[in-house]
Amino acid sequence: MANSPVIWFDRSPDPALLEFLGGQAEFVWPRSDDPLDGLDTADGVIAGASLTYGQSVLAKAPKLKVVARAGIGFDNVVLTDATSLGIAICNTPDGPTISTAEHALALILSVSKDLNESQGRLRRQEGNYGPQHRAIELDGASLALIGLGRIGSRVAQFAVAMGMRVTAYDPFEAAERFEDLGVERASNLHDAVASAHIVSIHAPLTPETRHLVDAELFSQMQDGVLIVNTARGGLIDDRALLAALNSGKVAGAGLDVTEPEPLPSGHPLLDHQRVVVTPHVASATNEGRKRIFGMALEQILCALGGVKPSHILNPEVWPGRNSERVDT
């Protein structure tokens, strides 16, 4: 495709996705055992979560001008390294919202209705009913949200519609958002989780938030609390979570994200009867993929055309390697 920009995926894309994205660029991806195969030809990158985009990776792409993270989180991109090389970094914060919030709701429903253990009893031929069944009604239950950004707000809307009492902790959101959603604002993390039946996590992973949910925070929750995480695995100390599950402090957990990813065979979270684990697929609906990758492509084409992307994460770099295309 003569004169078209070359855009690199870090893994083989779904053919249906390529068809959806159309002929706006030449798309390449690794076709050998080398995970960076083809990166050296790229003008832009649509980045998943499988690679860390730091100096050692970015330096292998001498033509690279812009990386668009397919999703909200960008903890696998070293912004300082990209900025030093003149590479613009973007994300697609509106892309995963609907699908991820729906997945969080699915996990809330799954753990609150004890579906994993119920299915396990049938598989073990233990009959249709057991006194150990520990389902709860959501109508009237208390939900604590750690984070009230795009996804957390959508989950709040679902929860309020189901009759749940919703409290959230997010020091970065304006009071108006809480009021508009009908959500009580907690002044600190302890107050948010102390009386919650369910805690759902929607925060970014940063050095400050790593293991935000640890043994100390679990100790401040009520016995039998349910935990849901569709944000980043590193937000929870998994050893503390396992201890809380085994003690009964946590009655169940629904996890779309873990640390590490994927969990190795035999990991205790995979085999725990009160844990539902999905492999970081919350945003990966047909509609979600199209929205995310369409937005990522739009950000890249804007940058390559000399237009500052709307969701640039390191604006100080602009125009960087795109300087020859910027109309001055």
Supply 213's token pair: 């949910």
**Is 272 marked active-site?**
no
Lowest-confidence region among 170-179, 191-200, 314-323: 314-323
Q: Is 197 one of the catalytic residues? A: no
Query: What mean pLDDT comes out for the span 182-197?
Result: 97
**Which residue shows structure tokens 């239950």?**
141
Residues 294 and 187 in one domain: no
User: Is residue 1 a part of any domain in this protein?
Assistant: no
Task: Out of 237, 252, 277, pick the residue that ends a domain.
Answer: 277
Q: Could you tell me what percent of the chain has a pLDDT over 90?
A: 85
Residues 106 and 236 in one domain: yes
- Asked, for residue 38, whether it belongs to a domain, the answer is yes
In this structure, the answer to whether residues 58 and 117 fall within a common structural domain is: no
Same domain, yes or no, for 113 and 206? yes
Q: Which domain holds residue 170?
A: 97-277
> In the annotation, is 154 catalytic?
no
Model confidence over 217-233: pLDDT tens digits?
Answer: 999 999 999 999 999 99
Task: Please say if the pLDDT value at position 130 is more than 70.
Answer: no
Query: Which residue out of 26, 259, 261, 298 is catalytically annotated?
Result: 261
Q: Could you report how far apart the first and last alpha carbons of the chain are, in Å?
A: 29
Catalytic residue among 232, 272, 274, 291: 232
Is residue 315 assigned to a domain?
Answer: yes
Are 224 and 317 members of one domain? no
* Residue 212 resides in a domain: yes
**pLDDT for 328:** 38
Question: Quick one: 91 and 102 in the same domain?
Answer: no
Identity of residue 70? A
* 292 and 164 belong to one structural domain: no
Whether 8 contacts 42, CB under 8 Å: yes
Together in a domain, 156 and 180: yes
**Cα gap 316→299, rounded to integer Å:** 17
How would DSSP label each residue in 11-69?
SPPPHHHHHHHTTSSEEE---SS-TTTTGGG-SEEEE-SSS-BSHHHHTT-TT--EEEE
Sort 15 into a burial class: Cβ within 10 Å, 0-12 / 13-18 / 19+. Answer: exposed
Q: What is the pLDDT of residues 119-128, one digit of tens each?
A: 888 888 887 7
Residue 306 lies in a domain: yes
Taking the whole predicted model, whether its pTM rises above 0.85 is answered as: yes
**Pair (75, 203) in one structural domain:** no
Indicate whether 71 belongs to any domain: yes
pLDDT for the residue 323: 65
For residue 316, pLDDT over 70 is answered with yes
Task: Provide the CATH number for the domain around residue 320.
Answer: 3.40.50.720
Residue 1 has pLDDT above 50, yes or no: no
Residue 171 forms part of a structural domain = yes
Domain end position, chosen among 257, 277, 297: 277
| pLDDT per position as a tens digit, 262-280 | 999 999 999 999 999 999 9
∠44-233-163 over CA atoms, to 5°?
110
**pLDDT at site 325:** 54
The yes-or-no verdict on residue 7 having pLDDT over 80 is yes
Per-residue pLDDT tens digits for 13-68: 888 888 888 888 999 999 999 999 999 999 999 999 889 999 999 999 999 999 99
pLDDT at 250 over 70: yes
What would the two tokens of residue 150 be? 């795009």
Tens-place pLDDT, residues 73-98? 999 999 999 999 999 999 999 999 99
Q: Does 253 lie in the same domain as 150? A: yes
At 218 the pLDDT is 98
pLDDT of residue 327: 45
In a domain, 117, yes or no: yes
| SS3 state at 227 | strand
Candidates 19, 9, 95, 50; CA nearest to 283 is 95
Statement to judge: residues 63 and 164 lie in one domain: no
Domain shared by 110 and 192, yes or no: yes
CA distance linking residue 73 with residue 53, whole number of Å: 13
Write down the catalytic residue from 202, 272, 274, 280: 280
Q: Could you tell me how far CA 160 lies from the centroid of its own chain?
A: 22
Count structural domains, the chain. 2
pLDDT at residue 22, as a whole number: 81
